[in-house]
Chains A and B, each alone.
Chain A
């Protein structure tokens, strides 16, 4: 007891050894290094992309032209593709992930929770190139032969829906990319949701059950309100991953430079166009500058998403 008190005394009273100073220095340097890395990354992307911003001005952000021959570049198509595939993936992934988490924490028998939970975590560990190949050789043929023709015929003649599901059934495109992204982000969101659902103090739930609530009512009125902020944070993390996904999307999105109302049409994303065009861009060319500028824009989009999730998470962390 005496010893413990002595150890927890103020550090100033103890002679500091050089080892402590070195350790503190290294720790501080590591922390600063992260800031420096991030800063230099943003800065080099911005400086690299500066010629493109200077040449095309602010219209670079929404211009939908990407013409390597005439050297006219715009980020519109890629930004649209990036945001559209990610949002679509979220629309599909969030209910699915919620279902998984709900089942695992409330409904599943104990012997099943571990295998399903592990399977979800394993899905998160699969490299994205594997998802790309699986998407291209399995999902794309299924989409082009079965799903897309049926959907196109079904919605033919219905306003709006007719335009959203139109075009030749390539199998590749925005919709297929969103599907593959869904499979990739579900494990992240589901795992986060499961973890935070488990943080709800049992006494809250037991009280609710005590006054006669059903499982769904407990979920809706106790668990969700208690964990709402963290759940949104988890969704935002999944969103961030979907935004930056490269290889899997490149395989299945169709890679064209046009925006089309149809979800089955080909498009591209910032990450996919950078991956595809980078090897053929000459040093100092406007194309390379435009690709770096795209990288900067993706950085900004990801930063916005992260900032939103941080602000949503903050109150929870303070509790």
Chain B
């Protein structure tokens, strides 16, 4: 029914505006919503496409593309190869985003505190409970750490950001991997949950001793107090655009299938350790080839002309080589460009 209505709406739109604006629909990741929205606005005059994107969350986006109620789905979590085959879909990344660790310690400025993956995992496991814990003090000589209790804050709603963060903790701590694991929502051993990026930021801000995680774009725009993290090479880096770009550039994309790359903990002295690509799902057996051709045209425009827009919104554009590989992979989807 919904498909029929959408089809009707699309065909009606086609009749009234003539071939000027063709509508494509997408749903999913709220993390990627700002960039798709901006790309949609900026590209419509060049491509004649009108994007209708609903930021309903990655899980709902996957559901919708599986039911074919939208032209493309968007997920922050790569979909497993067998699921892709089962639902006859292909996936490709669109942009990359980092995840920052945010804290609230009175008197401590941004990037003054250094943390490591294992320490972060122990904090979220509840085994490190005070800010002046030996493990934290050891790598932060010269910083006066208070004895405040650590209050961990996490996303209460299912979220791609949570997946990236828990996936990183799973890499860093075998205990985290076996006890908690990685997913869009997990069973948190300690701490309080807050709804949305804004909820996490507000809760951390309200509790002295609070620690949380948020998308880097959100943290940057709201001037949250971030920490430095130790990366794969053992260097401490601050969450900055060059650090995010370094991780993306240093990742080995050739080994993964379906572009399902995990950008957490990549090598390189300047690489920020917690980041991820956000993915787009396209049906390989589209009902209407014209629609999937339009989706490809839209993302092609994004890759060719949209990198500056991505950077201005604090996303990291994909390396040019990967964008070319994605264009090649689109041949699996019927519908010319």
Contacts and interface: CB of A to CB of B under 8 A. Distances in A.
Contacts of B181: 69-70
Given A171-B206, A266-B193, A69 B59 contact: no
B180 A277 contact: no
B197 to A, nearest CB: 14
A67 interface: yes
Contact of A68 (B56, B185, B193, B206): B185
Interface stretch (B153-161, B242-250, B283-291): B153-161
B319 to A, nearest CB: 29
Given A140-B206, A255-B194, A280-B159, A69 B186 contact: yes
A279 B195 contact: no
Contacts of B156: 250, 255, 276
Contacts of A68: 158, 183-187
Contact of B149 (A137, A168, A173, A276): A168
A153 to B, nearest CB: 14
B187 A66 contact: yes
A280 B195 CA distance: 13
B65 to A, nearest CB: 11
A256 B193 contact: yes
A66 B193 CA distance: 14
A259 to B, nearest CB: 13
Contacts of A279: 56-57, 59-60, 157-158
A281 B58 CA distance: 9
A303 B76 CA distance: 39
A283 B193 contact: no
Interface in A248-281: 250-251, 254-257, 266, 268, 276-277, 279-281
A250 B195 contact: yes
A69 B187 contact: yes
Contacts, number: 93
Interface in B112-152: 149, 151
B226 interface: no
Nearest to B129: A168
A262 to B, nearest CB: 13
B182 interface: yes
Chain A contact residues, majority secondary structure: loop
B58 A266 contact: no
A82 interface: no
A281 B59 CA distance: 6
Interface residues of A, number: 32
B63 interface: yes
A144 B186 contact: no
Interface in B154-208: 156-159, 180-188, 190-195, 199, 202-203, 206-207
Contact of B195 (A66, A70, A140, A255): A255
Nearest to B56: A279
A65 interface: yes
Contacts of A251: 195, 199
Most chain B C-beta atoms within 10 Å of own C-beta, residue among A137, A255, A257: A255
Contacts of A280: 57-60, 157-159, 184-185
A65 B188 CA distance: 11
A63 to B, nearest CB: 12
- B183, B187, B203, B207 — which one has the most chain A CB atoms within 10 A of its CB? B187
A282 B193 contact: no
B294 interface: no
Nearest to A66: B187
B162 to A, nearest CB: 9
Given A69-B181, A255-B156, A282-B63, A170 B151 contact: yes
Nearest to B67: A283
6 shortest interchain CB distances as A-B pairs: A280-B158, A255-B193, A255-B156, A280-B59, A69-B181, A279-B57
Given A67-B187, A68-B184, A282-B63, 15 more contacts: A68-B158, A68-B183, A69-B183, A69-B186, A69-B187, A136-B202, A170-B192, A171-B206, A254-B192, A255-B156, A256-B188, A266-B191, A276-B156, A277-B185, A279-B158
Interface of B: 56-60, 62-63, 66-67, 149, 151, 156-159, 180-188, 190-195, 199, 202-203, 206-207, 209
7 contacts: A66-B187, A69-B180, A144-B207, A254-B192, A280-B60, A280-B184, A280-B185
